Structure 1
Amino acid sequence: MNEMASNPMPSSEDVLQPEYRFDYPKAKPNRFAVGNDVKKLKVVVLDDDVAQVFTTPEAVNKALRAFIEAMPQPQT
């Protein structure tokens, strides 16, 4: 009976070469991915003290919408 060797631990030779490392700043969106019907999200990082008050995205959006309503509107 042939026994297959278990997966050996990766050696230092198995590390990716520099030419295969992904350069995130040079990344471009996938032009073949579904585009218009996908809701695009914006990610904002809150400070810890603010995140303790606004624990859900809905709470943050509600407070920001109230703030926008209270702001003076620009004269056109």
Structure 2
Amino acid sequence: MSENFSKGKRGAIIKPDPNKVRITIRLDADIIEHFKSLVHAAGGGNYQSLINEALREHIKAHDKSLEDVLRKVIREELKQAG
């Protein structure tokens, strides 16, 4: 007996969190592997959520606004490039 999927819907079963933004970012392979290994050791989860949490902790630890951090990074990159 074959299944009838004619009334099936495409897309995510669980709608994404509206506070999350989809982006494309390139990270070093060893960084990704580190977070994937943490997920594997924990028995499952989402490595992207771990990266998000690590970024959030970094921001809190440095007690600066995101704008200040970004300005500093941009200044440093411009200084190295020019």
TM-score range with shorter-chain normalisation? 0.3 to 0.5
What TM-score do you get using the length of structure 2 for normalisation?
Answer: 0.38
Question: Which structure: larger Rg?
Answer: 1
| Higher RCO (CA 8 Å, separation ≥ 6 residues) | 2
Q: Which has the higher helix share?
A: 2
